[in-house]
Structure 1
């Protein structure tokens, strides 16, 4: 029963990705990725679409060049969307400055801010690969008043590499998934 559900779900996402590419192309993925990553702590399944577009590239014979373009479109869209977390942290920092009464919170905030100031780009880049909501990194960078250009570059680089890997997994895993589910 679970395998049937997974097969149906995979097929639905694959068809959705195919339709999206036919009608909107990579621009559709780019816009969808902005929207999916602009939500704070409400994950939308854009990763599944990125994976499916990699599988679509395999099934249509589009090659690895298309997989790289999928990763770039999805990763750049994600980086733009993640600016919402940065902005929330930046604006929320002003409210936090006024409300700092708890020394424990103040100490943790300063600790995170110092780490981001010292190793910001590396922490942000690595953060794009962790199975945590990336919003934490964006909010922390905004709270620390970390340079927004550096935040965007590190986020874009990490998200692009991550999404190329995800699309590649779809590309190379398509036959395996078909063999298991269908």
Structure 2
């Protein structure tokens, strides 16, 4: 039995607590795919064994717990601590470097919108901890960023039903599509606000 099959078995056994634990591990930089967790959770919602709203709450809660753990590791241990002990949870240095580049470019805001990006969403809390950003703001951005991804995947899993595993195979592509849509929307409103400002100046 593969590791993913074991994860599904635990989710099936533990229900909401399985979602919390799974997402806590994923957000604490352990390579557990959120597409797998939320996809199967959506399938359990489809079967009527889990409630949609409570599944979302469990997913967001687990993600926040894991993100805080990763933030604390970065805050108190710094990059040397992560480099030394990260191998024990299969943490990739290249993935941390990628998250660091996003954080260096966008700062604390990266903890919000990168929750929709593959790989980066799992590791973005570490550089936030390295930089020792304001903890309350970090928590707020983390919550706001994780909610759309959580709702979207659980809902998709419930729609797909017995075909929920499709999410596990195309999860990264979905992330990129969602991220691209957000960029387009942001540019639209930015240009719109610029036009309004221009009219006012005239």
TM-score by length of 1: 0.63
1:81 is aligned to 2:69: no
Aligned residue for 1:171?
Answer: 158
2:33 to 12, 24, 45: 45
Question: Shift of the alpha carbon at 1:92?
Answer: 4.3
1:141 to 128, 133, 150: 128
How far, CA to CA, are the matches of 1:49 and 1:113 in structure 2? 29
Higher relative CO (CA 8 A, sep ≥ 6), structure 1 or 2? 1
How far, CA to CA, are the matches of 1:148 and 1:27 in structure 2? 25
Provide closer, same or farther for how the CA distance between residues 59 and 145 of structure 1 changes in structure 2, counting only shifts above 3 A. Answer: same
**What secondary structure sits across from 2:124 in the alignment?**
helix
How far, CA to CA, are the matches of 1:136 and 1:77 in structure 2? 15
1:17 to 11, 15, 27: 11
Provide closer, same or farther for how the CA distance between residues 176 and 143 of structure 1 changes in structure 2, counting only shifts above 3 A. Answer: closer
> Is the CA contact (8 Å cut-off) linking 2:27 and 2:123 kept in structure 1?
no
Provide closer, same or farther for how the CA distance between residues 112 and 30 of structure 1 changes in structure 2, counting only shifts above 3 A. Answer: closer
In the alignment, structure 1 segments of 5+ residues that lack a partner are 97-108
1:125 is aligned to 2:115: no
Superposition CA RMSD, Å = 3.6
Q: Count how many residue pairs are aligned between Structure 1 and Structure 2.
A: 147
In the alignment, structure 2 segments of 5+ residues that lack a partner are 82-99, 166-202
Aligned residue for 1:72?
Answer: 57
Question: Shift of the alpha carbon at 1:31?
Answer: 3.0
